[in-house]
Structure 1
């Protein structure tokens, strides 16, 4: 149930990740929102432009291409690794794709083969066009790949997503081949390293132990049941209180109680979940958004 970012917030998180950002014309008000919904947001999609030259590529993505009205993405990533923002809202980039792929992105699970085109991707994905001819010969400079990594990591970090929320157009819509020239599995590995605080980039051969994550990973819904005791439950309760969702008369404490369930249901409602999705039993999306500190 993630809601779209404001234009200012998108610029803020990209620059905080170390991205060089250029704001193109009236991009903050440039969108296709009159043609369909924008949101909920579920992921980031990477494309290649099949063009060359920064200025021409940016203009095409802002305006149109072969009768397809712009914006054709949210940002264009050039060969130097600069990001040119061209749209804020619904953009013509993803088209119809596979609902099973969208479900996997939401669940952050392994991607199935895309064999259907039954779901509106323009509604659910931020899209970034990367300047490349897409012929398998046009090089991908390291600065450009690092910018893709940073852009995707910035958005994932904002929403509390993992690298599994980043896909290529070729993984979404049957018949597409973009981006061509690097693998999305390799790019997701880079994004995962950056989200873990190590930065992405190529494999340097440095095999030092990874630092302990700042936030506790989701332990699974089955972890939360009557009789369960864990310092993780206390940490969760404290975060719920900090978010204004605490419904405790005492505590929180290490044992899972009805007060924990009621408090967590308040958090789910705060995020926009309703019905069975707000039953007070943590799910991965709401847990990641809560950012519970890691405990020993």
Structure 2
């Protein structure tokens, strides 16, 4: 059996067409992609779900579109992973009609949930035990002992705080459980930011109150973001460094992207997943197919 490397991609709703197209191309042109790379999940939320955290996603998605999206990825044997990481959730919120509808529609034993609040996690484990539960990086676990304690709990995976991305001592200590640790490779924010927890809470409040997102007052905030910005950050893991992590036993890597431009997300996919010699070909294939999808959608609206 091959020792696959799994990549977890952002925005199953907002980047649905991009992610679906990429998955298809990885199967049609496997020699154009790095050896043994697979899509392990697509993560995110449907617009307007109050359990969502990390990044505010406002709006609404009708039931048929929710069903369509879940079926689309599950039919390709890719789990949908919900970012139920709102850090301000209270017991009164766990009975939300819309969020529970989403969970029922996805309750087929194939999908996953990111969690960080015990009150919601306990409810989800009781009501939806068929999901795989993953400990979120929004917990900000940077103490090595607490990290190991987290990995002893009943989690399918634990997402590493990116402040630890290059801590060799911590990474080596995770060897026996490395295949259950997920690493965020291209975070655009600065490591050790003192306002990070407050930023998560601010985003959570936006989600709960359906507030139009306003800029969070942070000295590290950037107006325009690009993949080049990600590469300049201390937490960034380059293509050349990937082998070191794989050699240590890590098998799960996460790409940033929620709330960012699709062009940045596409650049990150090209950089990490596609062989350099084939990047122009795969990028052209993606752009061509996305244009075809858009044309079909526009034609359908005119009928």
Q: With CA pairs under 8 Å and 6+ residues apart, which has the higher RCO, 1 or 2?
A: 2
TM-score, with structure 2 as normaliser: 0.27
TM-score, with structure 1 as normaliser: 0.27
Structure richer in helix, relative to its length: 2
Decide which structure has the larger Cα Rg and report it.
1
